[in-house]
Amino acid sequence: MTKQAFVKKCPGNKNSKGESAEWCIVDHNTGKILSSHKTEEAAKSHRRDMEIHKKKGMYKQLIKRKLAYMMQTQNPSVINSPAMPKSYQRFNDDKAKEIIVWIRQLKGMDKNQIKDEIISKFNISDEDAERLYYEAYPDGLSSQEEELIEYFEQILPQQQCPQFLDDAIVIVIQQDEPSQLEQYGAEDEASALFLDFLNSMLHSRKLIQ
């Protein structure tokens, strides 16, 4: 049976505003505090929302769709890559699979770093590296980004989630003030982490300056 996050009293814990928030939702596997609340009732209510969305898997998919739309808006070729080049055909299935497996084992690298690595190691063209990258990660997300999305699924506000995601994307692209996210009841730490994540995704793909 998969262990779920649980509510725990954390004496002395404070939120980013310095306010007392001693009721925490804690990850069973890592012991990491996912969110903190002023009352036990608020913490339990948030945990129930988390579990509902986690079981359905809807929130994670919504986040991924919003991210894909964000990148496509900035550059339509990022996700919808062109047809496979002829040079790709020189790889046999075993060779392609070897490279794809190797790509998935690379950790802590963005797309461009991964491409540089496989171009150097396997002596392939940039075009081939591009196709193999999307073979390894069809939706354009690295394994590290996938893990972060699973984390955000747990800590971002569940109510009005489409609007929260849309506003967060606008803030990053237009470099607006993040204060408008407060209306959704998001923890300051959660909002800041998500905005940093969006910034990192766009910068790593050279979609913003």
Asked if 81 and 131 count as a contact pair (C-beta separation under 8 A), the reply is yes
Residue 84: predicted pLDDT: 41
The DSSP symbol for 154 reads H
Asked if 1 and 8 count as a contact pair (C-beta separation under 8 A), the reply is no
Residue 184: predicted pLDDT: 79
CA gap 126, 69 in Å, rounded: 25
Residue carrying structure tokens 């461009």: 112
Q: Which residues does 124 contact at the CB level (< 8 Å), separation at least 6?
A: 99, 118, 132
- Local confidence pLDDT in tens for the 209 residues of the chain: 345 688 999 999 987 778 899 999 888 778 888 888 888 988 887 787 666 655 556 677 778 878 877 877 776 554 444 444 444 445 567 788 888 888 888 877 777 888 899 999 998 888 888 888 877 776 677 778 888 888 888 788 766 677 888 899 999 988 888 888 888 777 788 889 999 999 988 887 777 76
Residue carrying structure tokens 């803030």: 171
Q: DSSP string of 41-55?
A: HHHHHHHHHHHHHHH
Q: Which of 106, 110, 104, 129 is nearest to 118 (CA)?
A: 129
Q: pTM of the full predicted structure? A: 0.53
Query: 7 - beta bridge partners?
Result: 25
